[in-house]
Chains A and B, each alone.
Chain A
Amino acid sequence: MTAGVDTDVVVDPDATRAGIEHVFAMGWSDGLPTLPATDEHVAEFLAHTTRDPDEVIATIPQLGKSATVRHAAVGAAMAGCAPEYFPVVLAAWDALGGEKPAQGGGWQSTSSPSPMLVVNGDIRNRLGFNSTGGVLGPGFRPNATIPRAIGLTISNIFGIRPHVLDQGTQGVPGRWQMCVAEAEEDSPWEPLSVELGHSPGADALSTVMVRTTEFLDNRYYTSAEEVLLDFADSVRRTGSWIMRHSAVGLLLNPEHAWLFADAGYSKQDVRDWLYENAVRTQADLRAVGKEYAVGTGHPDDEVHHVLADSSPASIPIVVAGSRNAAMSAIFRVFTTWSGRVVPIG
Chain B
Amino acid sequence: MSVIIDPTTLLAENVESTTEAARPASLASLRVGLFENTKRNAAQLLDAIGAQLTAREPSITLVRRTKEQFGLPMSSELADDLRASCDVVIVGVGDCGSCSATAVSDGIALETRSIPTAVVITDIFEANGRAIAALEGSPEFPFIMAPHPVATLDAAQLEERARELVDRILSRLVEPALAGAHA
Contact = CB atoms under 8 A, between A and B. Distances in A.
Interface of A: 19, 22-23, 26, 28, 36-42, 61-65, 67, 71, 74-75, 78, 103-106, 108-110, 152-153, 156-159, 163-168, 292
Contact of A109 (B2, B3, B96): B96
Contacts of B127: 163-164
A74 B73 contact: no
Interface string B86-110: 0000000000111111100100000
Contacts of A109: 71, 96-98
A109 B99 CA distance: 9
B128 A164 contact: yes
Contact of A62 (B10, B40, B71): B71
B166 interface: no
A282 B72 CA distance: 32
B132 interface: yes
A36 B97 contact: no
A61 to B, nearest CB: 6
Contacts of B178: none
B4 interface: yes
Given A61-B72, A63-B135, A157 B96 contact: no
Interface in B31-79: 40, 69-73
A64 B16 CA distance: 12
B2 A64 contact: no
B11 interface: yes
A174 to B, nearest CB: 19
Nearest to B127: A164
B128 A167 contact: yes
25 contacts: A23-B4, A37-B5, A37-B7, A38-B5, A39-B2, A40-B2, A61-B72, A62-B73, A62-B101, A64-B136, A71-B7, A104-B69, A104-B71, A104-B98, A105-B72, A105-B101, A105-B102, A106-B71, A108-B97, A109-B97, A157-B10, A159-B8, A159-B135, A164-B131, A167-B125
A36 B10 contact: no
Given A159-B10, A167-B96, A39 B69 contact: no
A67 B72 CA distance: 18
Interface string B1-31: 0111111101100000000000000000000
B7 A75 contact: yes
A205 B9 CA distance: 29
A153 B5 CA distance: 13
Nearest to A40: B2
A148 B70 CA distance: 28
A165 B131 contact: yes
Nearest to A166: B97
B128 A105 contact: no
Nearest to A101: B71
Contacts of A167: 96-98, 100, 125, 128
A168 B97 contact: yes
B128 A165 contact: yes
Contact of A152 (B7, B128, B135): B7
Nearest to A112: B97
Nearest to B6: A26
Q: Which of A39, A63, A78 is the most central at the interface, judged by chain B CB atoms within 10 Å of its CB? A: A63
Nearest to B8: A156
B98 A105 contact: yes
Nearest to A165: B131
A36 to B, nearest CB: 4
Contacts of A103: 72
A109 B69 CA distance: 14
A104 B97 contact: no
A75 B71 CA distance: 25
Nearest to B69: A104
